[in-house]
Chains A and B, each alone.
Chain A
Amino acid sequence: MKKKLRPLLLLAVAYGILAITMPVEGLRALGTVGRYFKEVAFILPPVFVLMGLLDAWVPKETVELHLGHTSGLRGILLSIVLGSAAAGPIYVAFPVAVTLVRKGTRVLNIVVFLTAWAAAHLPMIIVEMRFLGLTFALIRTGLTLIMGVTIGVIMERMAVPIEVADEPAQVN
């Protein structure tokens, strides 16, 4: 527990130094913290309720079949669809990924899911098209997804494990 709180302590010290040396910037930093904290505090509770429900109701066999080790190309495509259809900040994707891992999703598909979540949202691609052009948006999204699959394949080859934080009490 103490170790968990160490980064927070360090941050408190950093804010102390900031407040003394640069009060204006310190206040601005606190403002940013307040804004983000509000966002996080509102978003996370329903996300975790939904994760809990998913955990309780979706059978492991189903997820394993569609996203597990034998899911192949269809599993990759499904991960892209899931990642890009879901909306929201990337930190929401991590607990979703944890639930998917618990249900038997392979590392490759988790990486693809996270990459798609972060880089291939349809509404965001439309914004990107407006400011950077259609060609830019399509090529960037395409290349990012290809690299996401590549990274996933490399990580599986290197046997990089996923260490899920807390195994919940056995349900069912």
Chain B
Amino acid sequence: MYTVILYTLAVVGVIFSSRASKEKTRKALIIGGKSLLNMLPPMLTLVGVIGIIMVFLTPEWIAAHLGKEAGPIGTLIAALVGAITLIPGFVAYPLAGSLYQAGASVMTVAAFITTLTMVGFVTAPVESQQLGKRFTLWRNGLSFLSALVIAYVMGVLLP
């Protein structure tokens, strides 16, 4: 569905653009193509790294290991697991819900969900190639610390 919308937008965009200016459209497509080629190597790295990580950190593994409440260490491990995995939301939230039901604390669940969304270890090569190494390091580093703060605050607010 998402892909269909994207393709429709792209096709309609190109049609309107080329009606307005053939020259500008040609340049736009060249820019797009070049940027796509540049993004390809880090993108392949991303896909390859996901393959290896997901062999070990399957949703089943996460459910089995993070479900038992293990105090601050458990929260930290949940934050690390969230940071290095890339799980789509429609899998992640049910998983987080089952962690909570299995006995994990709000703090642990919040740490997992927050690092999962805010920190991207596997997407770092792509982010770094697109926006620079320093930006990527700072953003992900600060996001990881923020996730711990958020998890702590949520643990206090929602006992």
Contacts and interface: CB of A to CB of B under 8 A. Distances in A.
A58 B136 CA distance: 26
Interface of B: 2-3, 6-7, 9-10, 13-14, 17, 24-25, 27-36, 38-39, 41-52, 54-55, 88-90, 93-94, 96-97, 100, 106, 109-110, 113-114, 117-118, 120, 123, 125-127, 129-135, 138-139, 142-143, 146-147, 149-150, 153-154, 157-158
B102 to A, nearest CB: 13
Contacts of A136: 106, 109-110, 154, 158
Nearest to B97: A131
A98 B25 contact: no
A30 B49 CA distance: 11
Of all A-B residue pairs in the complex, the 8 with the closest CB atoms, nearest first, are: A52-B32, A163-B132, A131-B97, A46-B10, A52-B28, A147-B146, A56-B28, A33-B51
Main SS of the interface on chain B?
helix
Interface residues of A, number: 81
Contacts, number: 241
B132 A56 contact: no
Nearest to B149: A147
B142 A52 contact: no
Contact of A90 (B6, B52, B123): B123
Contacts of A158: 138
Nearest to A33: B51
A130 B85 CA distance: 22
A151 B143 contact: yes
Given A37-B47, A165-B129, A49 B32 contact: yes
A46 B5 CA distance: 10
